A and B are shown apart, each in its own frame.
Chain A
Amino acid sequence: MGLILLLLLPLVGAVTAWAAGGLGPRWPRWLAAAFLALDIVWLLWVGLHADGPGAWLLHLRLPWIPRFGIGFELGMDGLAMVLVALTLLLGLAAVLAAGREAEQEPGLLMANLLLTLTGAVGVFLALDLFLFFVFWELMLIPMYLIIAIWGHEDRIRSGLKFIIFTQASGLLMLTAILGLVLAQREALGGPSFSYTDLLGVPAPEGWAIWLMLGFFLAFAVKLPTVPLHTWLPDAHTDAPTAGSVILAGILLKTGAYGLLRFALPLFPEASQAFAPVAWILGLAGVVYGAVLAFAQSDAKRLVAYTSIAHMGFVLIGVYTWDILGLQGAAVLMVAHGVGTGALFIMVGTMEERMGTRDLSQLGGLWSVAPRMAAVTLIFTLAALGLPGLANFVGEILILLAAFAASPLVAAVAALGLVLAAVYGLRLIRHALHGPGPGLDGIADLTGIRLAVLAAMLVLMGWLGLGPQPLLETTAPTAARIAASAPLPP
């Protein structure tokens, strides 16, 4: 029941917010925030009182389509709980910090935001592959609408690009899911889409590599991994602020989560054979993302490209298959979610108040809006891996694990940190220093938005200085995934 309520609250919130659109422009936002806050409280409550069987803190399995062995199976372990918490917190931040876009049809916007969040929570909780796929696809349409209705310049095209990429790769994953279920039909005495059932039998020989690739492609598009990343800069840039926050902060994490939860444990041998390729793809992402971020003249695109670099790190961490690397990937996922979300809020604020995102026209923020400048500075430093902030913890863990696996990989990945400093400092120099446009009368951060960003700052600092609670929460999951690795030949 606890898990169902976790999903139901944002869903009911979506309907309520939509219905409340007629009451007044402020109602949808406050209702959406209230439902999300309620959901966070509920998550804490069930998280603290959970003592589920075996690996799962909470587990639920109801029959759904017995013909195919499809069940409504949900489960929450440490990793899922952390990511659901991230989803709800960032969702709350996005709802509260939504900018000018929330003036047009706020009810529908909040409804779409909450529907996306429902889908994401479902992705993190689903343990039935069919159900997982349903939630995976469920995130797409509201996100598409957010981009297409409330977005910027080229919004229709960017939204379409986003959805075509994810949907096409999603169908590949569906094919792989079906292939896996049908291949295991005999071993399990009937078709079953249950993750726990499928985990209990060895991966089908000969097929495993193809099935694993089907999963990998879908997750690699979402992550995104070079060369499947081209939807990301467009979608992030043209999405409204609230949409960018959710897209970067949460939707990208579903890709990494899918790798951790499904691709590795279900296909251990195939994944191990594939690991070097994944490392190379991850390194390519780290370097390519950083270089392209440096070359951008649009602040929002710059932030978008940094996501590619960070997710490259996550990919490397996941495929080290070592408990350090897996833990590092988990921390970096959370850190990137909070940090990039905050940066998108900042860039959105700059655009709203200065009318441009062009780096060559921005500038001089320190002198007129010191709070805005300070927040931007700290989150940029976090993105480039400054010790004391959360990204550093994740990156150092990943580098340690990568060094054990292959010193060369670690060396190239470390190069990515240097490049990150280059683009980070460029953003700081152009946006915060130097001469700016006529900035008189620019309002500094105040009110709710300041409070949201301050809370995110505290979270970043807390995770950077004392990551132990987070690490302890995800440790059992990471240990289980690490234990699923096949012994080296």
Chain B
Amino acid sequence: MPPTNLSALVPLLLVMLTPVAALLAIAARRHHEATAGITVAGLALALASVPPAMGTGPGQVTPLLRIDDYALLFTGLVVAAGIVVAMLAHGYWRRRPEQAEEFYVLLGLATAGAAVLAAADHFAALFLGVELLSVSLFGLCAYPVRRTTALEAGLKYLILSGVASGLLLFGIALVYADSGQLGFATIGRAGPIMGLGLALILAGLAFKLSWVPFHLWTPDVYQGAPSPATAFLATVSKGAVLVVLVRWLIESGLYDAPAVVVPLAVLAVLSMLAGNLLALLQEDLKRILAYSSVAHLGYILVAVLAGRGLGAEALAFYLVAYFVTTLGAFAIVALLSEAPDDERHHLDRYRGLLWQQPGLAFCLMLMLLSLAGLPVTAGFVGKFYLFAAGVDAGAWILVAALLLGSAIGLFYYLRVVAVMVLPQGDRAAGGRLPLTSLIVLAALTALLVWLGVYPTPTVEAALAAAAALG
């Protein structure tokens, strides 16, 4: 392997080393701050090594991975999200009795899985990445083992994710049986075996991405899991799988195949409408955000289906915006999870938040407006991108569903806002909030507005990433 390729691999290697270092540190001595610090530092190093790696140019590193601007942008994104979640987890676990150190190890492993997916160029890498991510996530979701809701969440995710992995593996096997190849770029002739294989792969990935009708696990898992784990699940695990799906679709040329496009379009419309409609019925903020993420994954499909031109670029920008917004929203949810064993977030708990904690309420309002796609937030530019991609591709049905979904979405986002501005509140002003979480929240809010007001640098990064896919 030539050394240039090795330097391209540095970010990935650093991400992989992070959980190892954390594990060794725990073996030496259990210390919450130290473990969290090692994880954040390791991931930050990995993040810092991303820009130099971009200079080395695209390269195939073993048949499994391809490190190009596309891979590096999303590696940077998932690693940054990993850092955010680690800092949130620090504030979250500090107020709870559990021994939290292994949470960071699992978090590092899951981030590594996501980074592998960002660069995967081969079905073996895809499966390795998906499994590394999912298996770590079982642990993350069920981490507080004495809490029954968390156990339920972990178990649900374990079973459904296991089924999805089974489907995925079987699909890959069928594709291999038909074509004798596992690289993304090669795809065999059309035939019943290949068709079944593709269908199974798509179904497996659709489970992970919780597209309707594969979404049934989403609200329960979101609600039961500890909030930092939910934040990770909602962003990194979805984003990484989507990234690899798009690379596969583009490199294999399946973009134009009606056999792939039509089912995906159906999933998109269903997710946008059902996700938004079901969110209307929820009374719990975490469940609202869960259904909202179902809808957002449907929105993103508009970009996926828009094809090579604006599609990949829109996907990249939208994912950045979605990561920032969703992490911000869950950061607030995590901050407001006061009782150590309580993960219920009934809307009543947010009543009058604006008058008790104006700063937090203001941030949450911005996050919700960004999810709704209103201006001066990242979500607005993201939605603009999706509309542009959809109109450019002439996908009018998808644009109509996007429009309708966005209008319905406003109902429940504003419902939360309306609860926050109600005059009376019964929640006592909470104790001192953890500093790490507040720093993260402030940074995410600033980033949210920055992306909404001056998106040009991110647009250029998205453009470069899309160009790497060709």
Residues of chain A whose beta carbon lies under 8 Å from any beta carbon of chain B: 64-68, 105, 130, 133-134, 137-138, 140-141, 144-145, 148-149, 156, 159-160, 163-164, 167-168, 171-172, 174-175, 178-179, 182
Contacts A67-B459, A137-B374 given: A144-B414 contact, CB under 8 Å?
yes
Instruction: Report chain A residues within 8 Å CB of B369.
Output: 141
Contact yes or no, A138 B421, CB < 8 A: no
Contact yes or no, B391 A149, CB < 8 A: no
Contacts A148-B418, A164-B410, A179-B391 given: A138-B376 contact, CB under 8 Å?
yes
Instruction: Report chain B residues within 8 Å CB of A159.
Output: 414, 418
Instruction: Report chain A residues within 8 Å CB of B414.
Output: 144, 159-160, 163
Instruction: Report chain A residues within 8 Å CB of B391.
Output: 175, 178-179, 182
Min Cβ gap A160→B in Å is 6
Instruction: Report chain B residues within 8 Å CB of A134.
Output: 375-376, 380
Contact yes or no, A178 B411, CB < 8 A: no
Min Cβ gap B315→A in Å is 15
Contacts A148-B418, A148-B421, A163-B410 given: A168-B403 contact, CB under 8 Å?
yes
Known: A133-B375, A171-B407. 5 other contacts (CB 8 A): A66-B456, A148-B417, A160-B411, A175-B403, A178-B391
CB 8 Å contact bits of B407-433 with A (1 = contact, 0 = none): 100110011011001000000000000
Check: B283 CB closer than 8 A to any chain A CB.
no
Which of A67, A105, A178 is close to B387, meaning CB atoms less than 8 Å apart? A178
The main secondary structure of chain B at its interface with chain A is helix
Q: Which chain B residue lies CB-closest to A167?
A: B410
Instruction: Report chain B residues within 8 Å CB of A171.
Output: 387, 403, 406-407
Contact yes or no, B421 A140, CB < 8 A: no
CB 8 Å contact bits of B381-399 with A (1 = contact, 0 = none): 0001001100110000001
Which of B374, B384, B456, B460 is close to A140, meaning CB atoms less than 8 Å apart? B374
| CB contact list, B445-469 vs A, under 8 A | 454-456, 459-460, 463
The main secondary structure of chain A at its interface with chain B is helix
Which of B380, B392, B418, B459 is close to A137, meaning CB atoms less than 8 Å apart? B380
CB 8 Å contact bits of B139-155 with A (1 = contact, 0 = none): 00000000000000000
CA–CA, A156 to B423, complex, Å?
Answer: 12
Give me 16 A-to-B residue pairs in the complex whose CB atoms sit less than 8 angstroms apart, sorted by A's number: A134-B380, A137-B380, A138-B376, A144-B417, A145-B421, A149-B421, A159-B418, A163-B414, A167-B410, A168-B403, A171-B387, A174-B384, A178-B392, A182-B388, A182-B391, A182-B392
Min Cβ gap A193→B in Å is 11
Contact yes or no, B399 A175, CB < 8 A: yes
Contact yes or no, B407 A174, CB < 8 A: no
**9 A-B pairs with least C-beta separation:** A168-B407, A178-B391, A134-B375, A137-B375, A156-B418, A171-B403, A149-B421, A67-B459, A178-B388
Instruction: Report chain B residues within 8 Å CB of A105.
Output: 355
Contact yes or no, B407 A164, CB < 8 A: yes
CA–CA, A464 to B174, complex, Å?
Answer: 81
Instruction: Report chain A residues within 8 Å CB of B454.
Output: 64
Contact yes or no, B456 A67, CB < 8 A: yes
Contacts A66-B456, A67-B456, A148-B421 given: A167-B375 contact, CB under 8 Å?
no
CA–CA, A64 to B392, complex, Å?
Answer: 21
Instruction: Report chain B residues within 8 Å CB of A130.
Output: 384
Contact yes or no, A64 B456, CB < 8 A: yes
CA–CA, A66 to B410, complex, Å?
Answer: 30
Contact yes or no, B387 A65, CB < 8 A: no
CA–CA, A160 to B454, complex, Å?
Answer: 29
Contact yes or no, A167 B407, CB < 8 A: yes
Min Cβ gap A5→B in Å is 18
Instruction: Report chain A residues within 8 Å CB of B384.
Output: 130, 174
Instruction: Report chain B residues within 8 Å CB of A137.
Output: 374-375, 380
Min Cβ gap B126→A in Å is 31
CA–CA, A179 to B394, complex, Å?
Answer: 9
